Amino acid sequence: MYTGTTASWQLYAGTGTFIKTFDHTFKRLDGHYYALDFSRLNKTNGATYDYRIQSQVFPPTRVACVTFSYYMRGLINNEVLSFYIKKENQQVSSLTPLWFARGEQGPFWYNHRTTINSTLNWEVIFGVVSTHTKDGLIAIDDVLVEIGKPCPMQGRCDFEVRIFN
């Protein structure tokens, strides 16, 4: 899905990073995901870095569901992973995150989804902002764009009417 990177995002398998983790898809150490492994990045002390990775361009659509999994481990400086939609002719500097997660999230993969509509061509962008980050891992996996399909409502389970609805 990803056609270009503007920073140091790399495709990794679980044993290739400072923090050993399985991928979200197959739950195995030999599975793959895109990540920033801060232990491998050349950084200047005190500098703030903004790492971005973007998808291919998608056509205008009335509705699309974008889902992804993310992992944030070994972080100590409130690093931020953000999710953006960039529409045609929009400047990256003017983007506002549609979603973000901050700091250490523990040894777990989490999922997020959001419904998109656009009358213009658009693309998915993930961004990470970090300052003084020496170690840790921020990863994304299982990014899925379903054109023409809204995201389902979040599940609810109150055990009053049905088991799950």
Q: pLDDT value at position 2?
A: 38
Q: pLDDT value at position 162?
A: 55
CA atoms of 18 and 16, how far apart (whole Å)? 7
Q: pLDDT value at position 39?
A: 81
3-state SS assignment for residue 31: coil
Q: pLDDT value at position 143?
A: 95
CB atoms within 10 A of CB 16: 15
How much is the pTM? 0.83
Q: pLDDT value at position 73?
A: 92
Q: pLDDT value at position 144?
A: 95
3-state SS assignment for residue 94: helix
CA atoms of 61 and 45, how far apart (whole Å)? 43
Q: pLDDT value at position 66?
A: 97
pLDDT tens sequence for the chain (165 residues): 333 344 588 887 766 666 667 667 766 667 788 988 888 776 666 667 788 999 999 999 999 999 999 999 988 888 999 999 999 999 988 999 999 999 999 999 999 999 999 999 999 999 998 887 778 889 999 999 999 999 988 765 555 555 554
Beta strands in 56-164 (DSSP E): 61-73, 80-87, 99-102, 110-118, 122-131, 137-147
CA atoms of 34 and 12, how far apart (whole Å)? 6
Residue in 49, 9, 40, 11 with CA at minimum distance from that of residue 135: 40
Question: What is the CATH number that goes with domain 2-147?
Answer: 2.60.120.200
CA atoms of 141 and 112, how far apart (whole Å)? 11
Q: pLDDT value at position 37?
A: 85
Q: Break the chain into its structural domains and give their ranges.
A: 2-147
